[in-house]
Structure 1
Amino acid sequence: MKKMKAKSILGFLLLSLCNPLSSSADEGMWTLYNLPEQTLEVMQSYGFQLNRDQLYSGPNALKNAVVNFSGYCSGVVVSPDGLVFTNHHCGFEAIRSHSTVDHDYMLNGFYAKTYADELPNENMFVSFMKNQEDVTNRVESALKTIKSSDEKEQVIDSLQNLMTDSVKRIDSTLHVNIDAFYEGNKWYATTYQDFTDLRLVFTVPKSMGKFGGETDNWMWPRQTCDFSVFRIYCDPKTGGPAAYSKDNVPYHPKRWAQVSLDGYDDGSYAMTIGYPGSTSRYLSSYGIQVRRDDENAPRAQVRGVKQEVMLRHMRADEAVRIKYDSKFAQSSNYWKNSIGMNKCIDSIGLINQKRLFEQKIQAWQDTTKADIHKVDFARLASLYSRLGKLEYVWTNFSETFTRRSNIEFNVRAMKLGNGMEVKGPENKPKKQYHEFDDNSNEWDAATDEEMLAVLLKNYRDHVDKEWLPAFYQTIDKQYGGNYQAFARDLYTKSLIMKPGAKIYFNSKDYKKDAGVNYGLDLQDVLANLQEQSSALEDSIADQEKYLCAAKIRMEQDQPHYSDANFTMRLSYGKVGGFDLGGKPSGYYTTAESIVEKMKKGDNGVIDYQAEPIMHQLLSVKDFGRYADKKSGQLQLCFLTNNDITGGNSGSPMFNGKGQLIGLAFDGNWDSLSSDINFDRHLARCIGVDIRYVVYMMDKWGHADRLIREIGCAPEATK
C-alpha cells in the first residue's frame, strides 16, 4: 500500500467537481460513480448515447463489462460465456509461460479449439468493480490523532479489513480497497469481485501481436495487432469465483460488450473505460525535476546497459529467448518511456511552466483568507533538493539489485536478506529455513551472470562510494575487481541457487554463504536509504497535498479529476489525428502500410519480420465485411484523443452506443510527458481496430466458435 499522507484540508472537492467544464474538456480520467452532470452532458454532445444508469449504476451498466486484468492491465468481457479481450502484451507472460521450444505459442500463436484445450494460468485474475463510495469523513476521523505514516497505513488497512468483513457477510466473494484521491485530500472505497481461474484461449503469433517491437513502441503510425483472448471460469454450483479446478465452467456474466464491425469516422465519439495506473499531474515543478533527473535518466541508463546483454543472449539461443522475452519487453517499455518523457519535459519547457503556475498559486495564497494549509514553496524546494540525491541512488539501486533487475539471484538474495518466505516450524526457530522452488525454466545462468556482472560495475560507476554494499570490498580484495568471476561464484557456490537446498537461518554456517552475505549487505544499504528518505517523503507528501488542494480551491470554477491510481476511470473524446510541425498524422493505418513494413522485415529489420501467411492475409484485395465502408480498406490501428496512461493497456474503446470498436494499447511519442502534463493538442491514444482483431481470429485462426460466441458469425468462404 502506498505511503499515507497527512490530514486533509476543508472538504471543498465535491463543490469544485460540480462546476462547468473548462475548455480542455477532453482531458481527464474520471471516476464513474460521481461523474459530474456537466461532464456527462459534454459526452452526450460529442455523440454518447447512454444515460448514467446505462453507464454505471444500472444492473446492465457498461462498467460491468470492464475488468482489471491481473493487477496491471485492463480488459473487457465480450461474450455471454466469459470471453475477455485484452492486449497481447498484457497476456504475454501467460503466453510465454506455456511456451516451450517444441510448442512456442509466442512464436506461432495459439487457439484452443475446445473448452478442454483452454490453458489455465497461475497468479492471474480478473477483477470486477461492483461499486465505489466516498469514505473521506470516515478515514479522516480514524486518522485524526495519527502522525506517523506507518501508523496511518495500519489504520487504513484496519478500516479496509473492517469494510471487507462487512461486505463478505453479504457476499463472501467480495472485498474492499480504500484508495487516496487528490493527493490524499479525498478517500474512496471500492468493492471488487475477483475471478482467479483465467484461461488462455487465443493469441496471434508474436510477429503480429508485437509487430513493430521496440522500433515502433510509443510511435505512430502503428500496425500492431495487440490483442489476446482469455476466458473466465467459475464454480459450477454458484456461478461465482473459485480457485482453478478441472470441474469449473465458463462464467456467465450479466453484462458483456457488443463487438461492432461498423467502424468509426474522423470526429466520431470515442471512450475508454479501464484502470490507468499512475499519473502525477498535480506534481510540483520540483517533483518534476526529480522525476526527470533522478528517476527517468538513471532508469534509462541502467536498463539500456542490461538490455544489451539480455538481447544478445536471446538472439543466440531460442530457449533463452523464450525465458527472457517477457522480461525484455517489460524492461524496454519504460526504458523508452523514460527517454521520451524527458525529451517532452524539455521540449515544452514543462518545469518552467509549472514554476510560473506556482507563482500564481503563491500570489493567490498571499491574498486569500481561507482557512487552509498553505504551500511553503521554499521548504518544498529544499526538501526535493535533498530527496533528489537519495532518489538518484534509489533508482540505480532498485534497477540494479531488486526484482526490477530481472536477475534471479538478486530476487532470491533480497528475499533472504529481509527474511521473507521462512519455512519450518514456528515453535522451533533453529529448524526454520528457506528453500527456493526450482524455477530454472524462467532464467538462464549465463545470461543472469553476465547481466549481474555488468550491472555491478555500472552501479559502482554511477553512485558515491558511501552507497556501495560491503561486498564490493570482496570484489576488490578477493577477485581483483573481476565482476564476472564474482558473479559466477555466486551462481555456482551459493546455496541460494542450488535446487532443493535448505538454508537454515540459525545455523553457524549461515553467514558463511556468499549469497547470504550479498543479500544482507543489500538490506543494509536499503535500510540506510529508507531511513534518510522517509522523513523527507512524508514532509514532501504534506506539501504536495496542500499544493493540490490550493490549485483546486483557486480554480473553483473548473472541475478537477484525481490522478490515476489504478481504479476504474472513464476518458472521453473523439477519433482523430494530430498535427506536428504542419504534418498531419492521419488517424488510422491500413493493411497496405503493414505490408510495406513487412517488406523491410524481409530485408533484415527484425521488428517488421512476419510469416509468409501474414503477408498473404494482409495483401488480399477484398477484405469483405472487415473493410471500412468508406475507405474500402482493412483499417488496423486508429487514434483518439482519449486520456490514458500505463494500466490502460487493454482498455475497451467504445463508440457512442457503448459498442466495442477497439482496444487501447499505447500512447504517442510526442506526448510522453502526459503522465505529468496533458497536452490536448498532441496527446493521443493508439488503439487496435476491433475489425482487425476479428479478421485475424477469422482468417488466420479459423476460430469459428469464438467468432460466433462474440456475436460475429464467421464470414462465409468465397
Structure 2
Amino acid sequence: MKRLLMSIVGLLALLPMKADEGMWTLYNLPQAVYDQMKAYGYSLPYESLYSGNNPIKGSVVLFGGFCSGVVVSPDGLVFTNHHCGFEAIRSHSTVEHDYMLNGFYAKTAKDELPNENLFVSFMIEQQDVTARLQALGIDDMPFDKQADVIDSIAAVMTDSVKKIDKSYHVEIDPYYEGNQYYATTYQLFPDVRLVFAVPKSMGKFGGETDNWMWPRQTCDFSVFRIYADPKTNGPAEYSEANVPYKPKSWAPVSMQGYKDGDFAMTVGYPGSTERYLSSYGIKEMRDAGNATRVQVRGLKQEIMKRHMDADEAVRIKYDSKYAQSANYWKNSMGMNKCIDSIGIIEQKKAYELRLRHWQDTTGYLKGKLDFDLMARLYAKCFKHRRAFYYWFETFRGTNELVTRAMKAGSGMEVKGSEKDPKKQYIEFEDNSDEWDEALDKEVLAALLQNYREHVSEEYLPSFYQTIDKKFKGDCKAYVDYLYKKSILMKSGKKLYFNKKSFNEDLGVQLGLSLQDYIAAQSEILNPLSDSIDVQEKYLCAAKLRMEQDLPHYSDANMTMRLSYGRVGGFTLNGSPSGYYTTAESIVEKMKMSDRVPEYFAEPIMHELLSAKDFGPYQDKTTGKMQLCFLTNNDITGGNSGSPMFNGKGELIGLAFDGNWDSLSSDIYFEKNLARCIGVDIRYVLYMIDKWGHADRLMKEINAK
C-alpha cells in the first residue's frame, strides 16, 4: 500500500497541473492536491484545513474587504500587512501625532484605537449551489437578471443561517467564469481597533522603488484587535463596553523558521485573477486597460508627490491615496512587460487552436463556443473599452470636486421637507481634513487636458463644450472657476436641488454631463460585454471538459483560498536570487538614503538592525536575522496579509507581495519565475519587542 501511495504521489508530481500553482477552495480541496501537499511536507490531516476541531480556516480573516489577516491570540489579536492597515493608521495621524511617521503602540487596552468602517469577516462554511441556481434557469438569463436571482437566493439562505446565529450572512459568488456558484456563510465583526504599527519607514521600507521587487526588507505588518459584545462574544458595533473577542481558533506563532525546500502554505482572500481569459481578452487588458492606467496615473502621481513633498499636512492626507494609486500603476507596467516577454498572448492563441480542434472532434458546445464570434466582439469593443478606462482613471476618485459632482446627482441623503420638494436639499459635510485644494485643482486640470489628448472627440463628455465656449479651451481656468464659484464646494451649505440655480451651476452640470456620458457608453458597452462574457464562460467550460482528468481551481474572487508550495528562490538575472534577506542587507540600503529617499530609516532602526546578536529572533541554522523570504505560493491582490504556514500549521510569515517577474500571474502563472514574498514572523516579533517594547503583546502572542 505504501509503495502504491508513493507511486501515485510520483505521478502527481509529473502532472501538468503544476503543483505550486493554484488558489484552491478549502471545503472541496481535491484529494490529489492534498496528497501533493503531504508529499511537500504538510503533516496535518485533511480535516485540519476546513472542518476539523479548530481548523486553519477559523484563524484566517477577510480584513476590511480588501486584504487578509490572521488571528494570533485567544484575545482576538490580528496580524495583517502595514499597507493593509495604512488608511487606519493615517486616519488617526495628525501633524502633532503622526502615527504614520512615528508608529503607534497602544500600551493598554484603553489606548487601542477604533476605526470607522473597518471590519473583519470569518468564513463559517461554503457549499456548491450550482444545481439550485441552474434549476431556476440562470444559465439562460441576461446577466442583470442573473444578479437579481443570485441576490434573492442569498437573501433566503441568509434568513436560514440567521436562525443559527443572528450575526451570520450568506454571499453567493460565481466560479469558473459562471459555470459554477458557491454560497459562503460569513460572520462579520465591525469593531476592529488599531493596536500596533511600526513607523512608515519600516512598514513601507523601499516604497515604490522596491515594490514588486526582490530582494526585499520591508517590515510589512500592523496589528489590530477584534472587539465583541461582552454578553455574547459576538459581533457588535463600536462601543466602549465591548471587550476583546474570544475566537474559537487562532494560529500558533512559530519561532523555528524555515529552510530551502520546506513546505509553505498561504490561506487568504485573493482578489481577482483571470487565468481562463482568452488571448483576445489579454490583448485588450494590455493595450486598453494597463497601458491607460500607467499613462494616467503616472501623470497624476507626479503632481501628488510634488505637493506631498512640500507640505507635511498634505502628505498625511494623501499618503494612503498615493500608495493605492502607485501600487497598481507599477503592477500594470510589470504585467505588460511579462505579457510580452513570456509571450502569453501567443501561448493562449496556440492553446485556443488546440481547444478548437478538440471542439471540432467532440462537438462539445458546438453552436455556443464560437472563436470567430469572440474575435469580432472584442474587436468591436476595443475602442469603447479603451475610452472607458481613460474615463475611469480620469474621473473616478481622483479629486474632491468631481466626486461631489457625481454624488450630487444621486446617492446622497435628501434632507428637509418631505411634502414640499422646493424645501428639500442636500449638504456636503466639511471634509477639508481629507483633501488639499491646490493639489486637487492641479490634478483635475491636468487630467482634463490629458483626457482630451488621448481619446477621440466622440468620447468627450458635453462639459468640454463649456470649457471651449466659456473658457477658450483652458482647463485650468475652468477648474479654478469651479472651485471658486460652484455651490458644490460650499461645505455645510444647504443645496436646494429643485431650484433653477442648482441646475445652472457649472459643477452640477459637470456631474450631470459625466452621468449622461457613462449612461450612453453603457448602452453600447453592456451588450457587447455580456456577449463576450458568455463566450469566455463557454471557453472555460470547454477547457474544464477537455482536461476533466485534472484538478482545476477557479479564478480568485475575494473568497478564501489556499495556495501551497515550498520555500525557495529563483534565477534572477542569471544568478540564484537567494530565498531570504538579512539585517545586514537593510542596513546597507539605509546607508543609501541620500540617493534613494525611500531607504530612509530613523537612527533607532539603524541601531536595532545593526545588532551583533538578535537573540531568539536569529535563525538557528544560518545564524542570521532573516527579514523577508520567498516561496512559490500563488499570490495576487487581496492576498496581502495572508498568513504563511509551515507543514505543522504554524505561522511563519505574512505574505505581502509578488516579485517583478510574477506580475503576469493574474492571467498566467509562470512557475519558474513567480514567487510570493513574505515578511518573516520573527522580524515582526523583533520589532514588536525591541522597538515597541510591547511586553503585553509578546506575552499574549506566546510565540514558540
Question: TM-score surpassing 0.5?
Answer: yes
Aligned to 1:582: 574
- Measured after TM superposition, the shift of residue 413 of structure 1 is 1.1
Contact 2:75 2:247 in 1 (8 A): yes
Find the aligned partners of 1:427 and 1:698 in 2 and give their Cα distance.
62
Q: Which moved more, 1:206-215 or 1:704-713?
A: 704-713
Contact 1:62 1:257 in 2 (8 A): yes
Contact 2:365 2:538 in 1 (8 A): no
Three-state SS of the structure 1 residue aligned to 2:592 is: helix
Aligned to 2:9: none
Contact 2:17 2:551 in 1 (8 A): no
Aligned to 1:192: 186
- Measured after TM superposition, the shift of residue 371 of structure 1 is 6.1
Find the aligned partners of 1:426 and 1:624 in 2 and give their Cα distance.
69
Q: Which moved more, 1:41-50 or 1:198-207?
A: 41-50
Aligned to 2:3: none
Aligned to 1:165: 159
Residue identity in the other structure for 1:185: N
1:414-433 equivalences under 5 Å are: 414-433=406-425
Aligned to 1:675: 666
Residue identity in the other structure for 2:665: S
Say if 2:433 is the partner of 1:441: yes
1:19–1:624: structure 2 CA closer, same or farther, 3 Å change rule? closer
Contact 1:22 1:559 in 2 (8 A): no
Find the aligned partners of 2:551 and 2:139 in 1 and give their Cα distance.
31
1:521-560 equivalences under 5 Å are: 521-560=513-552
Aligned to 1:9: none
Aligned to 1:655: 646
Residue identity in the other structure for 1:244: Y
CA offset digits 1:413-471 (Å, max 9, x no partner): 11123454433455544333221122111100111011000000000000111111122
1:456–1:195: structure 2 CA closer, same or farther, 3 Å change rule? same
Q: Percent identity?
A: 67
Aligned mate of 2:338, from 344, 347, 370: 344
Find the aligned partners of 1:113 and 1:62 in 2 and give their Cα distance.
30
Aligned to 1:35: 29
Find the aligned partners of 1:669 and 1:51 in 2 and give their Cα distance.
35
1:248–1:144: structure 2 CA closer, same or farther, 3 Å change rule? closer
Say if 2:271 is the partner of 1:277: yes
Three-state SS of the structure 2 residue aligned to 1:270 is: strand
Three-state SS of the structure 2 residue aligned to 1:504 is: coil
Say if 2:663 is the partner of 1:666: no
Say if 2:670 is the partner of 1:688: no
TM value normalised by structure 1: 0.95
Aligned to 2:5: none
1:269–1:428: structure 2 CA closer, same or farther, 3 Å change rule? farther
Find the aligned partners of 2:164 and 2:289 in 1 and give their Cα distance.
45
Contact 1:20 1:557 in 2 (8 A): no
Contact 2:272 2:557 in 1 (8 A): yes
- Measured after TM superposition, the shift of residue 482 of structure 1 is 2.1
Residue identity in the other structure for 2:512: L
Aligned to 2:585: 593
Aligned to 2:554: 562
Residue identity in the other structure for 1:129: M
Aligned to 1:133: 127
Find the aligned partners of 2:199 and 2:517 in 1 and give their Cα distance.
43
Aligned to 2:691: 700
CA offset digits 1:512-565 (Å, max 9, x no partner): 111100100101111111110000011001100000000111112211100000
1:165–1:23: structure 2 CA closer, same or farther, 3 Å change rule? closer
Aligned to 1:222: 216
Find the aligned partners of 2:292 and 2:68 in 1 and give their Cα distance.
29
Three-state SS of the structure 2 residue aligned to 1:282 is: coil
Aligned to 2:284: 290
- Measured after TM superposition, the shift of residue 473 of structure 1 is 1.5
Residue identity in the other structure for 1:154: D
Unmatched runs of 5 consecutive residues or more in structure 1: 1-17, 714-718
Say if 2:641 is the partner of 1:641: no
Contact 1:402 1:414 in 2 (8 A): no
Q: Which moved more, 1:481-490 or 1:161-170?
A: 481-490
Aligned to 1:474: 466
1:199-348 equivalences under 5 Å are: 199-348=193-342
Find the aligned partners of 2:245 and 2:268 in 1 and give their Cα distance.
21
Three-state SS of the structure 2 residue aligned to 1:56 is: coil
Aligned to 2:7: none
CA offset digits 1:272-304 (Å, max 9, x no partner): 000000000000000000000000001110000
Aligned to 1:497: 489
Find the aligned partners of 2:364 and 2:592 in 1 and give their Cα distance.
63
Aligned to 1:103: 97
Residue identity in the other structure for 1:670: D
Find the aligned partners of 1:98 and 1:696 in 2 and give their Cα distance.
21
Three-state SS of the structure 1 residue aligned to 2:668 is: coil
Unmatched runs of 5 consecutive residues or more in structure 2: 1-11
Find the aligned partners of 1:290 and 1:538 in 2 and give their Cα distance.
16
- Measured after TM superposition, the shift of residue 148 of structure 1 is 2.4
Aligned to 1:610: 601
Q: Which moved more, 1:178-187 or 1:438-447?
A: 438-447
Contact 1:20 1:38 in 2 (8 A): no
Aligned to 2:86: 92
1:130–1:21: structure 2 CA closer, same or farther, 3 Å change rule? farther
Find the aligned partners of 1:670 and 1:371 in 2 and give their Cα distance.
36
Q: Which moved more, 1:467-476 or 1:101-110?
A: 467-476
1:522–1:241: structure 2 CA closer, same or farther, 3 Å change rule? same
Contact 1:211 1:607 in 2 (8 A): yes
Three-state SS of the structure 2 residue aligned to 1:71 is: coil
Q: Which moved more, 1:410-419 or 1:243-252?
A: 410-419
Residue identity in the other structure for 2:598: D
Q: Which moved more, 1:407-416 or 1:80-89?
A: 407-416
Q: Which moved more, 1:222-231 or 1:55-64?
A: 55-64
Find the aligned partners of 1:497 and 1:469 in 2 and give their Cα distance.
21
Aligned mate of 1:626, from 608, 617, 622: 617
Contact 2:359 2:365 in 1 (8 A): no
Find the aligned partners of 1:582 and 1:207 in 2 and give their Cα distance.
31
Find the aligned partners of 2:531 and 2:200 in 1 and give their Cα distance.
46
- Measured after TM superposition, the shift of residue 163 of structure 1 is 0.8
Find the aligned partners of 2:656 and 2:31 in 1 and give their Cα distance.
29
Cα RMSD for the two superposed structures: 1.5
Aligned to 1:74: 68
Find the aligned partners of 1:466 and 1:417 in 2 and give their Cα distance.
23
Residue identity in the other structure for 1:499: S
Three-state SS of the structure 2 residue aligned to 1:302 is: helix
Find the aligned partners of 2:272 and 2:476 in 1 and give their Cα distance.
37
Residue identity in the other structure for 2:92: H
1:570–1:641: structure 2 CA closer, same or farther, 3 Å change rule? same
Aligned to 1:460: 452
Residue identity in the other structure for 1:699: K
